[in-house]
Amino acid sequence: MTQLSPTGNEFVASKGSDLTTSTFTRGTNLSGGTHEVINPATATIETTVELASLQDTDAAIERAAAAFASWRAVAPADRGRLLRRFAELVDAANEELAQLEVRNSGHTIGNARWEAGNVRDVLNYYSAAPERLIGKQIPVAGGIDVTFAEPLGVIGIIVPWNFPMPIAGWGFAPALAAGNTVVLKPAELTPLTAIRLAELALEAGIPPDVFTVLPGKGSIVGQRFVTHPAVRKVCFTGSTSVGQQIMRGAADQVKRITLELGGKSANIVFADSDIEKAAATAPYGVFDNAGQDCCARSRILVEASVYDRFLALLEPAVAGVQVIDPALPEAEMGPLISARQREVVSSYVEGDSVDVAFRGDAPEGPGFWYPPTVVLPRSTSDRVWREEVFGPVVSVLPFTGEADAIAKANDTEYGLSGSIWTRDLGRALRVSRAVEAGNLSVNSHSSVRYSTPFGGFKQSGIGRELGPDALAAFTETKNVFYAND
């Protein structure tokens, strides 16, 4: 490795380094101030990261634009090989990346290892793409008509704090495979694994400026991705309100966007289902990552005839969730990301507007801990039933019959995910087709596989990531007619 800049660029490194407090941003000299990275399990400072300024961002975008011509010209098989080499290094660094995520984000060590493994898997999956970006030859008179899948140029990827590694990989892996260069802004709170991934890309032989990570503020770095004309597409994952701003801003340049936004997903439990299994798994469908998951099944709808029995089974299941130091192998849930997020989450529960049915345990003392909490809304207009809490709070309501279940599930501006529990195949087919959401699972809570498409209906987003078709979001179709004479 020739240099250690997380931004992957010699220009920044050669400005003379200011090796301040950080062990993670060795050799950088970004001028957008600094950010103290807090360990959410202990509320202690982990390290300090330098942030990119507007000037740093412009310079990185311009270098990424300059690197585009040579990156797209790399032979398809060689581009694939470089991505597989990158995947190998991510795999070799799995434990290091996982430990970083535990300390930076409070993720359980089991989840964090899976997340680093997901980056490896997504790189491997899309490493086959450069050689398979196959166009069409369309029969026409007087010549030959051919389509090409052309890369766009510089892609700007904006990542939230809840899944720093996977969401970064879902953007950069297909973007790079298709021949684009990438500038990526991690969330200000969680930059550490992205910085390390950029170092690994360089070590793998991906040329400087092809994949640049820019720690920085959304209002500066992220916003510049939207306004800088050399950034041809923005992939944004985060809140619906910032997504709306990005969509408005992108209109000025008719800039391509993919948006993955919030969710308020339903877990629909029919009386004919395996109620024991539905209740035992429901906590993990919402409390994983302390509920800071856009796919969290935060509205449980239970058929009225089994409502009491379901709640009776849910209580011990919630009490059994292991909310402990996320570094311990048996941890099932860690802390929230920040003190602020804990305030936001508790605002949905404290006071007399909400009936708390029961709660699980959480450690006392330092760290941003919040116990798994089950609430019983008084009506479907309650704030806790309608808004994304993004914390370990789940609401339970009864329904009567299939039509009511579908109507209640769809009574939301969101449409990301959801689960349906039934043993009746016909009902599973009908309800899964009727629920307005991009990712559903029947008799399970799975949402994300790298080989299948992921994304939202309605205000949960625009476009799809992952799966066989994601390359289309990182290429433009070009049609060329070659005349016979």
- For position 238 contacting ligand NAP by CB under 6 A, the verdict is yes
Q: How far apart are CA 4 and CA 30, in angstroms?
A: 13
Helices 76-92, 94-105: crossing angle, 10 deg rounding: 70
Give the closest residue to 188 by CA, choosing from 93, 105, 103, 90.
105
Residue 284 or 358: which CB sits closer to ligand NAP?
284
Mask of contacts with ligand NAP, 419-458, x by CB under 6 A?
----------------------------------------
Under 8 Å CB-to-CB from 351, ≥6 apart: which residues? none
- Closest approach, Cβ 426 to ligand NAP, in A, equals 31
- For position 336 contacting ligand NAP by CB under 6 A, the verdict is no
260 classed as catalytic: yes
Dihedral (CA of 93, 194, 159, 336) sign: positive
**Are the C-beta atoms of residues 232 and 384 closer than 8 Å to each other?**
no
Q: How far apart are CA 77 and CA 84, in angstroms?
A: 11
Locate 168 and state its tokens. Answer: 């970064």
Mask of contacts with ligand NAP, 133-172, x by CB under 6 A?
-------------------------xxxxx----------
Binding piece for ligand NAP, criterion CB under 6 A, among 122-130, 240-248, 356-364, 428-436: 240-248
- For position 50 contacting ligand NAP by CB under 6 A, the verdict is no
Residue 101 or 188: which CB sits closer to ligand NAP?
188
Residue 40 or 398: which CB sits closer to ligand NAP?
40
Binding piece for ligand NAP, criterion CB under 6 A, among 36-44, 237-245, 327-335, 475-483: 237-245
Q: How far apart are CA 212 and CA 7, in angstroms?
A: 5
> What are the φ and ψ backbone dihedral angles of 403, each rounded to 5 degrees?
-65, -40
- For position 338 contacting ligand NAP by CB under 6 A, the verdict is no
- HSE on the CB side for 70, CA within 13 Å? 9
- For position 382 contacting ligand NAP by CB under 6 A, the verdict is no
How many residues make contact with ligand NAP (CB under 6 A)? 28
Q: Which of 294, 295, 303, 388 is catalytic?
A: 294
- Closest approach, Cβ 6 to ligand NAP, in A, equals 15
Q: Which residues of 9-40 are buried (b: 16+ CB within 10 A; e: fewer)?
A: bebbbeeeeeeeebebbebbbbebeebebbbb
Q: Contacting ligand NAP (CB under 6 A), which of 40, 164, 208, 262? A: 262
Mask of contacts with ligand NAP, 184-203, x by CB under 6 A?
-x-xxx--------------
Mask of contacts with ligand NAP, 207-226, x by CB under 6 A?
----------xxx--xx---
Q: Which of 115, 188, 199, 260 is catalytic?
A: 260
- For position 56 contacting ligand NAP by CB under 6 A, the verdict is no
- Closest approach, Cβ 454 to ligand NAP, in A, equals 8
> What are the φ and ψ backbone dihedral angles of 401, each rounded to 5 degrees?
85, 165
Q: Is 242 helix (H, G, I), strand (E, B) or coil?
A: helix
Residue 225 or 310: which CB sits closer to ligand NAP?
225
For residue 207, give the DSSP letter: P
95 classed as catalytic: no
Residue type, 270: F
> What are the φ and ψ backbone dihedral angles of 398, each rounded to 5 degrees?
-85, 160
> What are the φ and ψ backbone dihedral angles of 37, each rounded to 5 degrees?
-85, 125
- For position 299 contacting ligand NAP by CB under 6 A, the verdict is no
Residue 63 or 217: which CB sits closer to ligand NAP?
217
- Closest approach, Cβ 316 to ligand NAP, in A, equals 29
> What are the φ and ψ backbone dihedral angles of 395, each rounded to 5 degrees?
-105, 140
Binding piece for ligand NAP, criterion CB under 6 A, among 58-66, 78-86, 182-190, 436-444: 182-190
Q: How far apart are CA 323 and CA 312, in angstroms?
A: 21
Strand partners, 158: 185, 236
**Are the C-beta atoms of residues 25 and 196 closer than 8 Å to each other?**
no
- Closest approach, Cβ 298 to ligand NAP, in A, equals 11
Residue 310 or 414: which CB sits closer to ligand NAP?
414
- Closest approach, Cβ 19 to ligand NAP, in A, equals 24
Strand partners, 157: 184, 235
CA distance to 283, 311, 351, per residue, from 316 (Å):
10, 9, 25
Q: Contacting ligand NAP (CB under 6 A), which of 59, 184, 195, 261? A: 261
Under 8 Å CB-to-CB from 232, ≥6 apart: which residues? 152, 153, 154, 155, 180, 255, 256
- For position 255 contacting ligand NAP by CB under 6 A, the verdict is no
What amino acid positions are annotated as catalytic residues? 260, 294
Binding site for ligand NAP (CB under 6 A): 158-162, 185, 187-189, 217-219, 222-223, 237-239, 242, 245-246, 260-262, 294, 388, 390, 416, 461
